[in-house]
Amino acid sequence: LRKKFTEADLDGFEDKIGSSTNCNMTDVFWLANMMFDDGEA
């Protein structure tokens, strides 16, 4: 697996879910796509 994300990306994501009471599925999929790139982008 190739890492496509930076610490800033992760910090931003944590800030988004930290300021919300529920986790937006779009954000979950975005994070998953950032973390697990199958190369087909």
Q: Is the pTM of this model over 0.85?
A: no
Asked whether residue 38 carries a pLDDT value surpassing 70, the answer given is no
In whole angstroms, give the CA distance from residue 30 to residue 32.
5
Please name the residues in contact with 27: beta carbons below 8 A apart, sequence gap of 6 or more: 13, 16, 17
Of 2-11, 13-22, 32-41, the least confident: 13-22
Asked whether residue 20 carries a pLDDT value surpassing 70, the answer given is no
Count of domains observed in the chain = 1
Task: Return the CA Rg of the chain.
Answer: 11
User: Residue 25 belongs to what domain range?
Assistant: 1-41
Strand, helix or coil for residue 20: coil
Q: Which residue has the higher pLDDT, 35 or 19?
A: 35
